[in-house]
Structure 1
Amino acid sequence: GIVAANREIDLPTALQISKIFLEIVIAPSFSKEALEVLTKKKNLRLLQLPNVAKPCPDAKDMKKVLGGLLIQEIDSQLLNEDDLEAVTKAAPTKELMEELKFAWKIVKHCKSNAIAITANKTTLGCGIGQVNRIWAVKQAIEHSGGYEKTKGAVLASDAFFPFPDCVEEAYKAGIAAIIQPGGSVRDQESIDACDRYGIAMVFTKMRHFKH
């Protein structure tokens, strides 16, 4: 496996890393104590990238396509909190809103169609690269440990819900709040479903849609 960090790897982190099998650890820096622990692990490669956490506005994303190369700008958009809109009768608490913003960061980096489920600022499971959104929801729930493990968690979708079936599945999983871009011609159906089940839903008015 691979672990990437956006801050220095210190001794407590190194001790936790040393307990599992990894092949690569990437970080801006490693403390002296962390290096003493990690360099003892056989076949573990440590990569120090000082600028790993800094944005690269001129960077490009490249994908191979038949007969050519697709070059596009990297999705470096940041969430504008002024654009967040609670569209349901139930408004998220301050704590839920912070959790929703965390989940939105996670789903940004998942391949679309993407769903992320989080709780306590921890990723429980993701549904990634599915051909429709409801499959991504079901996969995220499964990867979270099943319907009994997601009660009270939040769900983020990288693009809008085309149908209210995603809300129906979220309700079965005990999801407390949802964050998604909005913009579907059937938005109201998803809003009505959330109101029916007492789920708070927030629109970001932006999507990620990584491919």
Structure 2
Amino acid sequence: MESWWDAAVQLNGKEMSYLNVLDTEAAWQLVSRFDQPAAVIVKHANPCGVAIASTIFEAYTQAHGADPVSAFGGIVAVNGEVNADTARAISEIFTEVVVAPSFSADALEILCKKDNLRLIEGAAPFHSMAIDVRSIDGGLLVQSVDEVDEPLDDFTVVTERAPSDTEWSSLLLAWQTVAATWSNAIVLANGNTVVGIGGGQPNRVDAARLAISRAGERATGSVAASDAFFPFGDTVSALAAAGVTAISQPGGSVRDEESIAVANTHGIAMVFTGTRHFRH
């Protein structure tokens, strides 16, 4: 079975730990979903910075700027070559691992001055293993991999207002990110940058409040993605109060009409994706 790890090369740093491998895998899988230059920062298997831009440097600076507190001690993944400018920016922050398709000679000269910084050069994931495996007492729990590949044709606008082109672009970024975040999860994106992530919460409204808190003023004019349906309209109300303008969610609640009505009241565009992504 092929794996990108088979051909990956560690160019610098300490030996990879168990958690380093898990977090690097999570970061590499997510950043590899994007066709544009992208950067992902992961901490404890959750993304804390995600951005796409015209260059890798811009993507990294935007991803880091979204939540610099959480990015400290994180894993950085980019889907293009790390150049000197990007290396200098990364070197200013304590980082555990940087994974990329390649590093320029100048970038290596800068980053290798940090003896403990792990630099991994790797190819895109092969996706050859179609199952997820977790251990339980006396056995293994196995399920198929959660693929985030639903076509846009499956998305349905359910509100009076449809998303603008800009909102659609941000919604797709938020949707990819929320699928990679521990559930219950809400993700806010503004433009090409994820500005607020609330994950791993026992209820959806708290996940929204956490995402809103992390986004701060950047929540105004942002869009939101939810990994599962809203059981009540309270989460939509919280997002509306924060200035969110569009929402993507799977739909499927017996109270979908309540959430749709709240969205319409506030002029929010809402899209049902038809697929939920519970990450546990």
The offset of 1:59, in angstroms, is 4.0
Deviations 1:131-179 (A, max 9, x none): 111111111111223xx33100010001111111111101110101101
Aligned twin of 2:260: 191
Q: Output the TM-score relative to the length of structure 2.
A: 0.71
Aligned with residue 81 of structure 1, among 146, 152, 171: 152
Identity of aligned residues (%): 49
The offset of 1:127, in angstroms, is 1.1
**8 Å contact kept, 1:3–1:26:** yes
Q: Which amino acid aligns with 2:188?
A: I
- Give the Cα–Cα distance (whole angstroms) in 2 for the partners of residues 59 and 17 of structure 1: 33
The offset of 1:23, in angstroms, is 1.9
Aligned twin of 2:234: 165
Deviations 1:61-109 (A, max 9, x none): 2222233221222212313111111111111111111111111011010
For structure 2, the 5+ residue unaligned runs are 1-73
Aligned twin of 2:30: none
Q: Which amino acid aligns with 1:32?
A: A
- Give the Cα–Cα distance (whole angstroms) in 1 for the partners of residues 237 and 249 of structure 2: 15
Deviations 1:24-74 (A, max 9, x none): 111222122211111112311111122xx3341424322222332212222
Q: Which amino acid aligns with 2:220?
A: K
Aligned twin of 1:135: 206
Q: Does 2:96 correspond to 1:23?
A: yes
Change (3 A) 1:22 1:56: same
Aligned twin of 1:208: 277
Aligned twin of 1:3: 76
Greater shift, 65-74 or 125-134, is seen at 65-74
**8 Å contact kept, 2:190–2:218:** no
- Give the Cα–Cα distance (whole angstroms) in 1 for the partners of residues 79 and 146 of structure 2: 18
Greater shift, 2-11 or 167-176, is seen at 2-11
Aligned twin of 1:32: 105
Taking only aligned residues, the RMSD between alpha carbons, in angstroms, comes to 1.4
- Give the Cα–Cα distance (whole angstroms) in 2 for the partners of residues 83 and 10 of structure 1: 39
Moved over 6 A (4+): none
**8 Å contact kept, 1:88–1:200:** yes
Aligned with residue 162 of structure 2, among 80, 91, 100: 91
SS in 1 for 2:95: coil
Q: Does 2:116 correspond to 1:54?
A: no
For structure 1, the 5+ residue unaligned runs are none
**8 Å contact kept, 1:57–1:76:** no
- Give the Cα–Cα distance (whole angstroms) in 2 for the partners of residues 54 and 7 of structure 1: 14
Change (3 A) 1:107 1:2: same
1:114-125 equivalent positions in 2, closer than 5 A: 114-125=185-196
**8 Å contact kept, 2:163–2:269:** yes
Number of aligned residue pairs: give it.
Answer: 207
Q: Does 2:191 correspond to 1:102?
A: no
